[in-house]
Structure 1
């Protein structure tokens, strides 16, 4: 199901407002976030700003190609940095700021790629059901209001939490921690709100196209077993460079000239790469299991290949879990 006209209108309106606010903030004269005690979160703000820009631009549906999205964002960052040299703004071109913007854009693009369709007919039918629930939920103005409120509350709650956690470090940076807390809190809270709205849409809607989502749910134990290998492997990959990185930065002095919040951005890029790999790999394994759910029960594993079907649907004789036949 495609996005409704109302949903597209909202995404495009949000993008335009966001882009205007971004350009105003980028070109404000003599803007300086540094304080006497702590360096400002300038690089972290660039990362978050362009990551959000990339996401909103993708959701407008004006851009359908990830490659084109990357080219546009690369050029956008370059344009913003070059125009900061306009006389009177008292701003300067910063390669570090540009790199931070590119990292933010790349993080969003990696998660877009990690979220692309996987699996065969049954898992893709489930994805279509989730997409339909997503679009139907966002076709209602009340859900948009709920997302805005939940995102704001999440940001308000998580900002002080991250600042407090930062205070336990030997070299705290409350400004940077607060910015990251705002982004994490807003993202988690609005995401949870969106999932709740989608679930309500699936449960309350009489639409038969949601039947594939109601036909059988994977047990938590099997879900955890499917993501166990990707998570462990990705954690190992994540841990491998930690020791040499600490040695290089702490003892050898590599990256000593790089701003501290820029090093955090590099960490986030690496974490984003591994997380995207883990997400895509886990989704592939889960999709493969759902694609076999018409042969062995998704709940108990019982052989259901010879179960009699009615209108393309059947029920496991062992545990009673319903299932659908591919193509039905």
Structure 2
């Protein structure tokens, strides 16, 4: 009965009045666990995985992705026209330039850490629509594409319309870019407008901008230079010079409202008294004017200035082709 009367509440000892060692060890273990839990350590579950770092967008990433998507469609359109066998040599050259633009812009994105999967997804999605400057019909944002992405482009004139499909939103968006991106895309777009001119499209000059006085000042010496080129040439070269001169006079009228006489204080860079010197003068003056696009746009251009300079430059690029000055992917821009 004495053992029963102590019951469950009796203290357990080892016969010498001390708790058993096994219970003492368990007590220490429980105390240690309590301390660890109190300090925030969970020992019953594995620690959570570290958070996945968030990728910071590259400078002008969204704008460049749209441009790449639109350029991809330009290449598709050029390939479609080539399949029809029309204007093969010219369109082949245009496609080579477009592919160069595409390669450089993709490289700019990947060098900035944009995954190729993101670039490919933007190409697959296609550019978002904007409003065409002159017709009000949907046209894609970026460096030109068809208003209906599913409609195949079969003719050079249809391709020219694709290349001349930039709208006000495109130029406005371009003003938000950093200087290097702005120069690169403005140059690429001016080249695409030049391609449209070469394919027979009547690419209009833009409305006057703050750059217009500088544009006029650059155009007038070209008119005078080609008066000299025509005078010092013979045969087919003279006829080519007269065609270029007539086109330059029309461009001068378009940008200034009137034709002019020889600019005061402007002189030939060297004596021109032979057909060879005349041909050299033609190529050098046109090439120099094309390269001046970035300079004319200035360091902080608005949308009107960017478009004004690009459309003026496009006409000169198209004229320069007749004088063996090839189209380049980014005329006047520093890569």
Common fold by TM > 0.5: no
**Bigger share in helix:** 1
TM-score (norm 2): 0.30
TM-score (norm 1): 0.31
